[in-house]
Amino acid sequence: MAAEATVGPRMRRGRLTRRVALTVCALAPLLGLATTAVSAHAYSVQYCSQIPIVGGIPPWGFHTGSPITGRVGSYARGHGDINLAANTVSGILCQVDRLPGRPDRMITMTVQRHLLYHSHYARMWGYPGNLIKIVVRVQSSTDPRCRVGTLGQVTLFGSYNGVRSDSVQFRFPTACKDHDHLYHGPQVNNQVPPA
In a domain, 69, yes or no: yes
Cα 181 from Cα 65, distance rounded (Å): 14
Provide the residue type at 82 as one letter.
I
Looking at residue 66, its pLDDT comes to 82
Residue 121 placed within a domain:
yes
CB 156 within 8 A of CB 143: no
Shared-domain flag, residues 27 and 65: no
Q: Decide: 154 and 132 in contact? Cβ < 8 Å.
A: no
| 113 lies in the same domain as 24 | no
Predicted local distance difference test score (pLDDT) of residue 46: 56
Interval 3-40: pLDDT, tens: 444 555 554 444 444 443 433 333 333 333 333 333 33
Q: Is residue 18 part of a domain?
A: yes
Does 164 lie in the same domain as 117? yes
98 and 167 share a domain?
Answer: yes
> For position 8, what pLDDT does the model report?
56
| Domain of 7, in residue numbers | 2-31
| Residue 147 maps to a domain | yes
Asked if the structure places residue 160 within a domain, the reply is yes
The H or E element containing residue 157 is strand 151-159
Both 10 and 105 in one domain: the answer is no
What is residue 52's predicted lDDT score, i.e. its pLDDT?
75
Per-residue pLDDT at 17: 42
Q: For residue 75, is it within any domain?
A: yes
Q: Say yes or no: 71 and 135 in one domain.
A: yes
One DSSP character per residue, 58-73 reads -SEEEE-SSPP-SSSE
Are both 85 and 174 inside the same structural domain? yes
> 110 and 73 in one domain?
yes
Residues 6+ apart with CB under 8 A from 36: 44, 46, 47, 49
104 and 14 within one domain: no
Number of domains in the chain: 2
- Which residues partner with 108 through β-bridges? 94, 140
97 and 8 in a single domain? The answer is no
Question: Does residue 182 sit within a domain?
Answer: yes
Q: Residue ranges of the chain with pLDDT lower than 50?
A: 1-5, 11-45
Does 76 share its domain with 129? yes
Domain contains 163: yes
pTM score: 0.74
Residues 82, 171 share a domain: yes
